[in-house]
């Protein structure tokens, strides 16, 4: 649970108590490149922390077109808020872009700790604030930037990831076709 502990204690700004509560439900998962961490329509009441590798979180349109909502890289976290807060099932899927090592923590156990300890509350609140900022940045990119500006923002946000994943996935993240992304890259090189 090393990466989860690093992340949560960084968020709290202090050492957190009662890690044994999380250890009881903790799982270390090894996900092969291309395999799903979870699919649409599943009950996944967990918080995931990527120890190594990268994951894409994607929606599929009714015609099967993929739209990548975000990338999660080493040391970062993800969860499906619909499941955690509303009791619904997942409405997007999470897939490994590379071989991954992912720490999985039961959200109910985290909630128990937040009910007993203000420092756990602070940690979860900070994670939610980081998540909100990330989502607002993504929304601003999609609503106000050109595809070229979105690509430059992607390179700035994920400088190491761009060399590790397929251009097709970058295009799906930007909301353009792979051919359009090739043209953008060509213009920027010129």
> Mean pLDDT, the chain, as a whole number?
94
* Burial of 190: CB neighbours in 10 Å, binned 0-12, 13-18, 19+: exposed
Tell which wins on pLDDT, 189 or 8.
8
Does some domain include residue 140?
A: no
Is residue 71 domain-shared with residue 36, that is, in the same domain? yes
* Structural domain for 180, as ranges: 145-190
Residues 155, 157, 160, 165, Cα dihedral to 10°: -70
Instruction: Quote the DSSP letter at residue 167.
Output: H
Does some domain include residue 132?
A: no
Q: What is the pLDDT of residues 119-159, one digit of tens each?
A: 999 999 999 999 999 999 999 999 999 999 999 999 999 98
* pLDDT over 90 (residue 1): no
Does some domain include residue 139?
A: no
Is residue 11 domain-shared with residue 63, that is, in the same domain? yes
Q: What is the pLDDT of residues 39-70, one digit of tens each?
A: 999 999 999 999 999 999 999 888 888 999 99
Which band of pLDDT confidence, cut at 50, 70 and 90, is reported for residue 87?
confident
* pLDDT over 90 (residue 162): no
Q: What is the pTM of this model?
A: 0.92
Is residue 165 domain-shared with residue 119, that is, in the same domain? no
Q: CA nearest 102: which of 160, 49, 26, 179?
A: 49
Q: Could you give the CA distance from residue 48 to residue 128 in angstroms, rounded to a whole number?
A: 14
Cβ atoms of 36 and 80 within 8 Å: the answer is no
Is residue 116 domain-shared with residue 150, that is, in the same domain? no
Binning the chain into helix, strand and coil, the percentages to the nearest 5 are 50, 25, 30
Is residue 96 domain-shared with residue 162, that is, in the same domain? no
pLDDT in the model for residue 190: 85
CATH of the domain at 46: 2.60.120.10
Chain centroid to Cα 55, Å, comes to 7
Count up the domains in the chain and report the number: 2
Is residue 76 domain-shared with residue 159, that is, in the same domain? no
Instruction: Quote the DSSP letter at residue 34.
Output: T
Helix, strand, or coil (residue 106): strand
pLDDT in the model for residue 26: 95
């Amino acid at each position: 649970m090393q990466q989860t502990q690093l992340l949560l204690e960084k968020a709290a700004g202090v050492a957190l108590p009662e890690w044994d509560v999380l250890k009881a439900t903790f799982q270390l998962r090894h996900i092969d490149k291309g395999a799903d961490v979870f699919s649409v329509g599943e009950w996944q009441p967990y918080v995931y922390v990527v120890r190594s590798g990268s994951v894409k979180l994607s929606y599929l349109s009714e015609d099967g077109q993929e739209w990548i909502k975000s990338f999660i890289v080493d040391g970062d976290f993800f969860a499906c808020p619909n499941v955690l807060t509303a009791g619904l099932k997942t409405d997007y899927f999470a897939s490994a872009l590379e071989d991954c090592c992912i720490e999985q923590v039961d959200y109910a156990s985290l909630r128990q700790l937040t009910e007993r300890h203000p420092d756990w509350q602070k940690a979860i609140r900070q994670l939610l604030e980081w998540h909100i900022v990330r989502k607002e940045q993504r929304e601003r990119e999609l609503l106000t930037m050109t595809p070229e500006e979105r690509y430059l923002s992607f390179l700035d946000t994920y400088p190491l990831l761009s060399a590790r994943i397929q251009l097709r996935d970058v295009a799906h993240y930007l909301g353009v076709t792979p051919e359009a992304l090739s043209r953008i890259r060509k213009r920027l090189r010129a």
